[in-house]
């Protein structure tokens, strides 16, 4: 009879461990349902320039001498791309560009700024070509991902799924239905919750990330509980110890 109670105890214990270890399929699969998603934002997205952004701007033309005043270099003045000056967007949203003076750039895409500069430069340069790059475009992924960290990007365009992919994907303990996106724009800080299991994320205005965005993946309930109680192997060790104690007492 005593042995019967012991085995019932062990069975119930391991059943509880199994139940707490199970994860619903709906909580794990990304982009559920087969609805066709169309979003014009996906076709036309480009990050907007913000205050404190750092821009590299290069002007070229068929006559190199004509664009020298617009390409400034640090130090010895050698024409090397490694020491070309960059432009910091000040708190007023302006940069100071050679010969053209102050230009308001905040809120523009790099392509819009390129067209704006070309329009001004055409007064002085024949068929100018302008190349602009956001030098400080980086995003940070934290929490329940395999490789958390900060990632610097060259192309200035990345979506939430791509960012999570760069961080090695979510761990099994990550909450897919409650991803936190933190976005700072000027003095404004936004906190947005996103659901990776729902295809409607493709319609979200936050599907693409802005420079300096932070993604945080919260641990699920099982991970929180395991951090308090210990891993499943620890529970098994406890169960074994309890079983040994019960056997000693009931002898």
> What pLDDT digit, counting tens, does each position of 105-142 carry?
999 999 999 999 999 999 999 999 999 999 999 999 99
> What pLDDT digit, counting tens, does each position of 157-168 carry?
899 999 999 999
From residue 25, how far is each of 31, 32, 197, 199 by CA, in Å? 12, 11, 10, 16
pLDDT of residue 74: 78
54-134 to CATH, choices 3.30.1950.10, 3.30.70.3400, 3.30.430.20, 3.90.110.10: 3.30.1950.10
Strand-strand pairing, 214-217 and 138-143: parallel
Q: How far apart are CA 184 and CA 140, in angstroms?
A: 13
Residue 98 dihedral angles phi and psi, to the nearest 5°: -55, 135
Domain boundaries, the chain: 25-46+137-219, 54-134
Instruction: Return the CATH number of the domain spanning residue range 25-46+137-219.
Output: 3.10.560.10
Backbone dihedral region for residue 119 (phi beyond 0: left; psi -120 to 50: alpha; all else: beta):
alpha
pLDDT at 238 over 80: no
Q: How far apart are CA 245 and CA 164, in angstroms?
A: 47
Tell me if the pTM is above 0.85: no
pLDDT of residue 154: 83
Residue 161 buriedness (CB in 10 A; 0-12 / 13-18 / 19+) = middle
Mean pLDDT for all residues in the chain? 82
């Amino acid at each position: 009879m005593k042995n019967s109670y012991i085995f019932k105890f062990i069975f119930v214990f391991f059943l509880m461990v199994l139940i707490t270890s199970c994860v619903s399929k709906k909580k794990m699969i990304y982009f559920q349902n087969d609805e066709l998603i169309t979003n014009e934002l996906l076709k036309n997205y480009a990050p907007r320039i913000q205050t404190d952004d750092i821009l590299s701007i290069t002007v070229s033309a068929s006559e190199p001498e004509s664009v020298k005043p617009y390409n400034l270099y640090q130090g010895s003045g050698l024409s090397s791309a490694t020491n070309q000056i960059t432009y910091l967007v000040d708190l007023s949203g302006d940069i100071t560009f050679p010969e053209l003076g102050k230009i308001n750039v905040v809120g523009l895409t790099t392509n819009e700024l390129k067209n704006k500069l070309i329009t001004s430069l055409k007064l002085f340069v024949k068929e100018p070509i302008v190349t602009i790059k956001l030098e400080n475009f980086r995003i940070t992924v934290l929490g329940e991902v395999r490789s958390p960290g900060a990632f610097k990007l060259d192309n200035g365009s990345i979506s939430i799924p791509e960012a999570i992919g760069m961080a090695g994907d979510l761990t099994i303990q990550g909450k897919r239905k409650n991803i936190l996106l933190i976005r700072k724009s000027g003095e404004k800080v936004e906190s947005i919750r996103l659901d990776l299991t729902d295809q409607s994320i493709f319609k979200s205005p936050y599907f693409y990330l802005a420079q300096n965005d932070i993604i945080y993946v919260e641990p699920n309930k099982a991970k929180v509980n395991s951090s308090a109680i210990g891993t499943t192997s620890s529970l098994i060790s406890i169960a074994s110890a309890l079983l040994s104690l019960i056997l000693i007492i009931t002898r």
